Amino acid sequence: DQQVKQNSPSLSVQEGRISILNCDYTNSMFDYFLWYKKYPAEGPTFLISISSIKDKNEDGRFTVFLNKSAKHLSLHIVPSQPGDSAVYFCAASAEFSGSARQLTFGSGTQLTVLP
Amino acid sequence: NAGVTQTPKFQVLKTGQSMTLQCAQDMNHNSMYWYRQDPGMGLRLIYYSASEGTTDKGEVPNGYNVSRLNKREFSLRLESAAPSQTSVYFCAGRRGSNQPQHFGDGTRLSIL
């Protein structure tokens, strides 16, 4: 069973507009959430994270929103730039996984920003 | 500023051959991880090491073994490669709790 789901395999947006990437999770024990960006032939790069005690975290053009009651998080990119075109992975971890804080990943969303 | 370094970057094996994927980090990570990524899927955890001297199974450990040689190095071994192990393998490390994992650039492994 997929505990972290990204239901949109792909998303296209116009340069300068907002990109919204969505992620749903089923395990209520998850308390730490991350977004990673991945370019072809490279490893995932950490983008932004949020703890379950918050509902919003912002870093420059990137904002992550967490809705615990809906078990839903989203990543907003404003304004979108062509260099943002990549695969975005949502990931989650739980305190119960111990000191190693194992991550559970979604299947990714390919974002294409059109010039 | 190497970060997390994986070797080799590419490898082709025949069914039944063995091989070790190497991972080294210079970021003072306490925990280290091995993942595989298959088309249309997210990264799945194979094995991890919470600290030097410890290793534990992840979601998909069958067919693999690991060694945490020291704090810097964490290797993944395929004893008898199978076509189902064709994948991209990523190593990651993390310094402490509620800190993000940092990934290497992957090893692309094909098993014929």
What are the pLDDT digits (tens) for A39-55?
999 999 999 999 999 99
Residue B103: CB atoms within 10 Å: 23
Distance CA B9, CA A63 (A): 33
Q: How far is CA B90 from CA A65, B4, B8, in A?
A: 27, 10, 11
Nearest chain B residue to A43 by CA: give it. Answer: B105
How high is the mean pLDDT of chain B? 93
Residue B47: exposure state from Cβ atoms within 10 A (0-12, 13-18, ≥19)? buried
Distance CA A111, CA A22 (A): 12
Residues of B with CB under 8 A from a CB of A: 4, 30-31, 33, 35, 40-45, 48-51, 56, 58, 90, 92, 94, 97-98, 100-106
- Which residue of A49, A51, A108 is in closest CB contact with B100? A49
Could you tell me the two tokens for B5? 């370094």
Residues 6+ apart with CB under 8 A from A108: A6, A9, A38, A87, A88, A89, B42
Residues 6+ apart with CB under 8 A from A81: A15, A61, A113
What is the least distance, in Å, from the CA of A81 to any CA of chain B? 23
pLDDT tens for A18-44 read 999 999 999 999 999 999 999 999 999
pLDDT tens for B18-71 read 999 999 999 888 999 999 999 888 899 999 998 888 999 999 999 999 999 899
Q: Do B105 and A100 touch (CB under 8 A)?
A: no
